[in-house]
Amino acid sequence: MKLYGAGKPAPNPRRVRMFLAEKSIALDETPIDIMAREHKSPEHMARNSLGQVPVLELDNGTTISETVAICRYFEELQPEPTLFGRTPVEKALVDMWIRRVEFQVMTPVGMFWRHAHPLTAALLRQHKEFGESNRGAYARAQRWLDGELADGRPFLAGTAFSMADICALSTVDFARWIGLDLEPEHTHLAAWHERVTARPSAAA
């Protein structure tokens, strides 16, 4: 099988690399040069019609896109250590937190990147006022996350590190790279960030 991805700061390929590192699964990543627009080449579009990375290509030619779907595939192949929960409740909570991170945290970061950052200005028509408005949305997301973590739990979905933490860490780190810093007053969120960053998989 082949894993097509891109290096840092691209957050989506990093999620899969972190997941594989947590599972101790060795799989080389075939790089796609995003800045050279290789992800929009006919060859890559044949793997993923949306022209995005990562993409997992199986030996039989089947291709799987979307980070969570790729990681679920590997979870089924190698259940331990589990990163999607064990019990029905744990699995539901991990799914809930993945969705919350996607909508509440990733969306404003992505919209700021697309519509307010200078690196994307040459790639699409930006709506800068809308893009800048997402600073406030991301600030609200930080306050919300800080409040959620105020109960003392170490990770988003409970006591175990999960795919939800991987999604959140890759997003927060990408946000910092594009100029959306974590606000220092959110001490619970800062402590969570320190915990998950200390894991070896965070270097992926």
Q: Report pLDDT digits (tens) over 78-98.
A: 999 999 999 999 999 999 999
Domain of residue 101, CATH code: 1.20.1050.10
Residues 94-150: pLDDT tens digits? Answer: 999 999 999 999 999 999 999 999 888 888 899 999 999 999 999 999 999 999 999
In a domain, 138, yes or no: yes
Residues 55 and 32 in one domain: yes
In a domain, 83, yes or no: no
Residues 58 and 95 in one domain: no
Q: Structural domain of residue 47, as residue ranges? A: 2-77
In the chain, the DSSP E strands lie at 2-5, 29-31, 55-57, 63-65
Residues 65 and 98 in one domain: no
> Strand, helix or coil at 21?
helix
- Is residue 191 scored above 90 in pLDDT? yes
Distance between CA atoms of residues 78 and 45, nearest Å: 29
List the structure tokens of 57.
């290509």
Task: Give the pairing of strands 29-31 and 2-5.
Answer: parallel
Residues 190 and 106 in one domain: yes
Question: Nearest-CA neighbor of 170 among 26, 65, 17?
Answer: 17
Q: What's the domain count of the chain?
A: 2
